[in-house]
Chain A
Amino acid sequence: MAIYVNRETRVLVQGITGNQGRFHTELMQNYGTNIVAGVTPGRAGQEVLGVPVYDTVARAVAESGADTSVIFVPAPFARDAVLEALEHLSQVVVVTEGIPVKDTMELAAVAAGRGSRLLGPNTAGVISPGLAKVGIMPGRVFTPGKVGVISRSGTLAYEISLALTEAGYGQSSLVGIGGDRVIGTSFIDVLKEFEEDPETEAIVIIGEIGGQAEEEAAEYIKDMTKPVAGYIAGRTAPEGKRMGHAGAIISGGTGTAESKIKALEGAGAGVARIPTAIPEIIAELI
């Protein structure tokens, strides 16, 4: 079954004529994703890799029946592009990194008001192995299966998915929620979907330093029926330094890896100390 995306998902790529947009459109197509339209204002009538390009999301949706947008538009123009997407679509995946947090707070409020799903910003996207990928992850580290994966970080999610794949545990879906301070879809939103997804038997939650999202997720995990494994990156990170991701910063003593590990363990999740130990924990849980 998988969550969020599957064979039927009809994907629109905003920013399809840019380098990133074109490059990943091809990789998504190769994976089997149904890319039905592209949007770049001022480029209507062109085709990119056989995909028709439109000036507006309104027109693209009307002509193609797209239901999900993936956004590769550069940060200075991303607010406008995401607002346009939210006007017409119920699911928007924002790959763009470096969007000002003020813009993201506004976008999250608009999405919540409409009841739409905003994934990211600064997300690797979402993949349902063997069915579709909407984002930038390398398809070959994933394999279809029954473990649901949720992660703030992209590459760390690939590392852990690869470890799962090599140990014989496939994934139902991997959902990247993004590395920024403020993001549209939280761990809890995705945990709820996996809890209800009949194909998912266990869940891996991959967090990192900064904020309280993992602590909040732990509260939800306490009441879940499916087993959860976790990993938290940043035990060696010094206070007050931004560790690559805008959201990965310990400030005023909050957002430490210790606090998150303690919260997850307190909720009954098995927490790995190194990423490659996740499959062993899954083996114990299933």
Chain B
Amino acid sequence: MKIYEHMAKEIFARYNIPVPQGEIATSPEEARQAASKLGGPVTLKAQVLVGGRGKAGGIKFADDPEEACQLAEELFALKIKDLPVKTLLVEEKLAIEEELYLGLTIDRSAKKPVLMLSTEGGVDIEEVAAETPDKIISSHLEPGQKFELYQARELISRLDIPSSLLNKLSQLLSNLYRLYQEKDAQIAEINPLALTTEGLCAADAKLVIDEDALFRQKEFKAEGDELPYVELEGTVGCIVNGAGLAMSTMDTLLHLGGEPANFLDIGGGASAEVMARALSKVSGHPGVRSIFINILGGITRCDEVARGILQSIEEVEVPVVVRLRGTNEEEGSKLLRENNLEVEKSMTAATEKAIAAAKEWE
């Protein structure tokens, strides 16, 4: 779960990580007031949850409140990778002398958190890694163990920085790791970490929280218990049990000349209600020309799935192709056939049928 920059900075500040003074603005007028309150030149930053914001023109600098208001108007009219800009972060403009990089993420292969440090901040760290890997210091941290301040000092001391910065930077790193642990972060990144005449300051803040930890991270709200759903632009709607089988169903569609309209996993042991909801959701996708329901039941019962299909089938206008195998397959197939719905056994044959149905339907 990605966290907006302004919220991330609020959390960083709680962990004694210095951040610029800033205010939130949801209108050009609020941006004017924020700039006037902060005094002096300001930075206006669009609050969107995608990367590449700077390149897309989502960051602007204003010398006075009037200019802040004008530039805010431009920013609110902007769409960054299709996302509208609804909120701005208005901050004091920093007098940056050097830009550093500090980031924590997960190394899936090593099964450990990994820390990355660099004196080449302000640019994409992947580019630095590709072009000048010797400019990055990276180190694994031990899961379940404390990260001591001396360990932070040892890492920081490997950076090419003046010794006078060592203690402050080590403490900042230690604070960032504590935040990373306590907030169940997947990514906690400061890029750039600005060095100004007044000291260190997190000019940007990236924070991604582990969605699986939301049960104990009450500060962050889950977006409801929606089914795992990803919308695409194809014509064959997909409803499948299990994430792997769902991805594979989409691939099979593509392989056989069709185009998947979505990813949807009804999960294991889905009830009739979940199936009914899934069918309504996919039939509401405007691009859908046919719907392919692909079920191989283990803990999912085919009769339960069939009942769910029958609950929602009335509202579906496009052809529906159903493949049922596995637990209670006979009962489920019988229910559907009694209601004049055909049932397929083979995944490949059913995929072909769904593609043909989409092509015929107009």
Interface residues of A (CB under 8 A from B): 23-24, 75-76, 98-102, 104-106, 108-110, 124, 136-138, 141, 151-159, 162, 179, 181-182, 206, 208-209, 211-213, 216, 231, 233-238, 241-248, 252, 257, 273-276
8 closest residue pairs by CB, A with B: A153-B244, A244-B243, A155-B242, A156-B244, A105-B143, A106-B144, A100-B213, A155-B245
Residue of chain A at shortest CB distance from B263: A243
Residues of A near B144 (CB, < 8 A) are 105-106, 109-110
Q: Which residue from A158, A231, A236, A243 sits with its C-beta under 8 Å from B298? A: A158
Residues of A near B325 (CB, < 8 A) are 162
Cβ-defined contact, A233 with B297, below 8 A: no
Cβ-defined contact, A236 with B232, below 8 A: yes
How many Å lie between the Cα of A244 and that of B347 in the bound state?
20
Cβ-defined contact, A108 with B111, below 8 A: yes
Residues of A near B232 (CB, < 8 A) are 236, 238
Asked if B254 is at the interface (CB within 8 A of a chain A CB), the reply is yes
How many Å lie between the Cα of A235 and that of B247 in the bound state?
8
Asked if B26 is at the interface (CB within 8 A of a chain A CB), the reply is no
Give the distance to chain B from A168, nearest Cβ to Cβ, in Å.
16
Q: What band does the interface of chain B fall in when counting residues whose beta carbon is under 8 Å from A? A: 35 or more
Residue of chain A at shortest CB distance from B141: A105
Residues of A near B184 (CB, < 8 A) are 100-102
Give the distance to chain A from B177, nearest Cβ to Cβ, in Å.
12
Cβ-defined contact, B251 with A236, below 8 A: yes
Residue of chain A at shortest CB distance from B295: A155
Q: Which residue from A211, A236, A238 sits with its C-beta under 8 Å from B109? A: A211
How many Å lie between the Cα of A109 and that of B141 in the bound state?
11
Most buried by A among B242, B244, B346: B244
How many Å lie between the Cα of A182 and that of B111 in the bound state?
6
Cβ-defined contact, A138 with B326, below 8 A: yes
Cβ-defined contact, A245 with B244, below 8 A: yes
Cβ-defined contact, B106 with A181, below 8 A: yes
Residue of chain B at shortest CB distance from A235: B251
Residues of A near B113 (CB, < 8 A) are 105
How many Å lie between the Cα of A182 and that of B247 in the bound state?
20
Residues of A near B263 (CB, < 8 A) are 237, 241, 243-244
Asked if B273 is at the interface (CB within 8 A of a chain A CB), the reply is no
Cβ-defined contact, A156 with B111, below 8 A: no
With contact pairs A76-B215, A100-B213, A109-B143 given, residues A243 and B109 touching in the complex (Cβ less than 8 Å):
no
How many Å lie between the Cα of A159 and that of B325 in the bound state?
9
Cβ-defined contact, A274 with B212, below 8 A: no
Residues of A near B90 (CB, < 8 A) are none
Cβ-defined contact, B212 with A101, below 8 A: yes
> Chain B at the A interface: mostly helix, strand, loop or mixed?
mixed
Residue of chain A at shortest CB distance from B213: A100
Residues of A near B216 (CB, < 8 A) are 76, 100
How many Å lie between the Cα of A159 and that of B296 in the bound state?
7
Residues of B near A206 (CB, < 8 A) are 244
Residue of chain B at shortest CB distance from A210: B108
Residue of chain A at shortest CB distance from B144: A106
With contact pairs A75-B215, A216-B109 given, residues A159 and B210 touching in the complex (Cβ less than 8 Å):
no
Asked if B248 is at the interface (CB within 8 A of a chain A CB), the reply is yes
Give the distance to chain A from B215, nearest Cβ to Cβ, in Å.
5
Residues of B near A233 (CB, < 8 A) are 244-245, 247-248, 251
Give the distance to chain A from B288, nearest Cβ to Cβ, in Å.
15
Asked if B315 is at the interface (CB within 8 A of a chain A CB), the reply is no
Give the distance to chain B from A273, nearest Cβ to Cβ, in Å.
5
Within 8 A of A (CB), among B239-295: 240-248, 250-256, 260, 263, 265, 268
How many Å lie between the Cα of A252 and that of B346 in the bound state?
36
How many Å lie between the Cα of A158 and that of B296 in the bound state?
8
Over the window 168-195 of chain B, the binary record of Cβ atoms lying under 8 Å from chain A Cβ atoms (1 yes, 0 no) is 0000000000000100101000000000
Over the window 340-351 of chain B, the binary record of Cβ atoms lying under 8 Å from chain A Cβ atoms (1 yes, 0 no) is 000000111000
Cβ-defined contact, B346 with A276, below 8 A: yes
Asked if B10 is at the interface (CB within 8 A of a chain A CB), the reply is no
Residue of chain B at shortest CB distance from A182: B111
Residues of B near A245 (CB, < 8 A) are 243-244
Cβ-defined contact, B298 with A138, below 8 A: yes
Asked if B79 is at the interface (CB within 8 A of a chain A CB), the reply is no
How many Å lie between the Cα of A100 and that of B103 in the bound state?
20
Asked if B7 is at the interface (CB within 8 A of a chain A CB), the reply is no
Give the distance to chain B from A4, nearest Cβ to Cβ, in Å.
19
Asked if B43 is at the interface (CB within 8 A of a chain A CB), the reply is no
With contact pairs A156-B242, A179-B244, A238-B232 given, residues A212 and B296 touching in the complex (Cβ less than 8 Å):
no
Cβ-defined contact, A243 with B106, below 8 A: no
Cβ-defined contact, A152 with B348, below 8 A: no
Q: Which residue from B142, B143, B251, B298 sits with its C-beta under 8 Å from A124? A: B298
Asked if B29 is at the interface (CB within 8 A of a chain A CB), the reply is no
Residue of chain B at shortest CB distance from A138: B298
Give the distance to chain A from B2, nearest Cβ to Cβ, in Å.
10
Residues of B near A110 (CB, < 8 A) are 144
Asked if B126 is at the interface (CB within 8 A of a chain A CB), the reply is yes
Residues of A near B245 (CB, < 8 A) are 153, 155-156, 158-159, 233
With contact pairs A236-B254, A236-B260 given, residues A209 and B247 touching in the complex (Cβ less than 8 Å):
yes
Asked if B112 is at the interface (CB within 8 A of a chain A CB), the reply is yes
Q: Which residue from A153, A182, A208, A237 sits with its C-beta under 8 Å from B108? A: A182
Asked if B83 is at the interface (CB within 8 A of a chain A CB), the reply is no
Give the distance to chain A from B294, nearest Cβ to Cβ, in Å.
9
Asked if B327 is at the interface (CB within 8 A of a chain A CB), the reply is yes
Asked if B299 is at the interface (CB within 8 A of a chain A CB), the reply is yes
With contact pairs A102-B210, A110-B144, A155-B241 given, residues A243 and B111 touching in the complex (Cβ less than 8 Å):
no
Residue of chain B at shortest CB distance from A242: B228
21 contacts between A and B (CB under 8 A): A76-B215, A100-B212, A102-B210, A153-B242, A155-B268, A156-B242, A181-B106, A182-B111, A208-B243, A208-B244, A235-B251, A235-B254, A236-B251, A236-B260, A237-B230, A241-B230, A243-B228, A244-B246, A257-B251, A274-B255, A274-B256
